[in-house]
């Protein structure tokens, strides 16, 4: 079997449960990253099969259905949250006053260029202001400080690919994780700029990341409590929930996790305030950025 960088493959030893993209081919192993999940792995040549276009299309269709359902639930939640907030803002009185929203600005740093593009598209659909940057996981700690100074974000997402490698040690040992240490270092650097967790909200991690280390480093939300894989878009929905929740309200943990694709096995966090502020009135020069 001939393999090329960019081929979509699966692993028979894992019942071909996940699709992977070939990123490099070495003498004794092939380096892979998840096509939908934020997982990096390596596999021998004899444990790989190339997925044909027909099967890829079918899997892509099923994945899109799951993503669209998640997006639809998110919109429904936001609509209810908006109605409740507007009622409270007017003390229950009917009013024709118009509001504008200043949503939390996201700095999204991603180790996967294709995932970054996909995530940015969802942020834009939701109306969440975002500045996206692609960096390898190893580069992230070196660059995050200057990015914070330039972007001045309210929310930071530090993600990419990760994996727990049993051959390197126990699940408690940081050396057993591919990239958790880089995510944790990014969180620690960011916290030097804004120590308070309600002034700067941070999501950190990817598939199978060491959740406890990332939370202790200063993240509000992180992956992965059960060391499972997380979906490429999960960080987007957590960051967007915070961005679109009023600073007068707290982001309920169950509320934010239930509309992610992976759920509480792959994602967790601490109680956190929203970062959106409403204002009034809308002037002729201003344009509302609410969900339609």
Secondary structure in 3-state letters for 74-138: HHHHHHHHHHHHHHHHCCCCCCCCCCEEECCCEEEEECCHHHHHHHHHHHHHHCCCEEEEECCCC
219 against 78, higher pLDDT = 219
**Does residue 44 register a pLDDT over 70?**
yes
- Compute the distance between CA of residue 167 and CA of residue 177 in angstroms, rounded to an integer: 10
pLDDT for the residue numbered 284: 60
**Does residue 110 register a pLDDT over 90?**
yes
Cβ atoms of 32 and 154 within 8 Å: the answer is: no
Give the CATH fold of the 66-279 domain.
Answer: Rossmann fold (3.40.50)
**Does residue 226 register a pLDDT over 90?**
yes
Pairing of strands 100-102, 277-279: antiparallel
Tokens standing for residue 266: 């792959």
CB atoms closer than 10 angstroms to residue 54: 8
**Does residue 89 register a pLDDT over 60?**
no
Least confident of 83-87, 135-139, 232-236, 264-268: 83-87
83 against 286, higher pLDDT = 83
283 against 30, higher pLDDT = 30
pLDDT for the residue numbered 266: 94
**Does residue 107 register a pLDDT over 50?**
yes
What pTM was estimated for this model as a whole?
0.84
pLDDT tens per residue across span 142-177: 999 999 999 999 999 999 999 999 889 999 899 999
pLDDT (mean) for 217-229: 95
pLDDT for the residue numbered 175: 92
Rg (CA), the chain: 20
Q: Average per-residue pLDDT in the chain?
A: 87
Give the whole-number percent of the chain exceeding pLDDT 90. 51
58's CB contacts (< 8 A; 6+ apart) are: none
């Amino acid at each position: 079997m001939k393999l090329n960088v960019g081929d979509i493959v699966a692993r028979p030893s894992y019942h071909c449960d996940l699709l992977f993209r070939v990123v490099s081919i070495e003498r004794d192993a092939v380096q892979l990253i998840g096509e939908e999940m934020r997982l990096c792995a390596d596999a021998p040549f004899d444990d790989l099969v190339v997925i044909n276009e027909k099967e890829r299309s079918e899997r892509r269709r099923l994945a899109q259905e799951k993503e669209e359902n998640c997006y639809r639930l998110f919109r429904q939640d936001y609509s209810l949250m908006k109605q409740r907030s507007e009622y409270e803002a007017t003390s229950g009185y009917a009013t024709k006053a118009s509001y504008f929203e200043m949503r939390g600005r996201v700095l999204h740093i991603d180790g996967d260029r294709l995932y970054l593009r996909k995530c940015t598209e969802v942020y834009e659909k939701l109306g969440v202001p975002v500045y996206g940057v692609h960096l390898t996981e190893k580069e992230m700690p070196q660059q995050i400080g200057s990015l914070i100074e330039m972007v001045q974000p309210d929310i930071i997402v530090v993600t990419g690919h990760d994996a727990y490698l049993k051959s390197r040690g126990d699940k408690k040992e940081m050396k057993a994780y591919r990239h958790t240490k880089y995510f944790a270092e990014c969180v620690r650097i960011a916290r030097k700029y804004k120590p308070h967790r309600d002034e700067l909200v941070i999501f950190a991690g990817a598939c199978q990341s060491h959740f406890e280390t990332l939370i202790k480093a200063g993240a509000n939300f992180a992956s992965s409590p059960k060391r499972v894989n997380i979906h490429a878009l999960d960080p987007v929905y957590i960051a967007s929930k915070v961005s679109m929740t009023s600073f007068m309200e707290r982001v309920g943990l169950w509320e934010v996790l239930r509309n992610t694709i992976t759920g509480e096995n792959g994602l967790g966090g601490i109680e956190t305030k929203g970062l959106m502020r409403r204002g009034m009135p809308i002037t002729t020069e201003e344009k509302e950025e609410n969900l339609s």
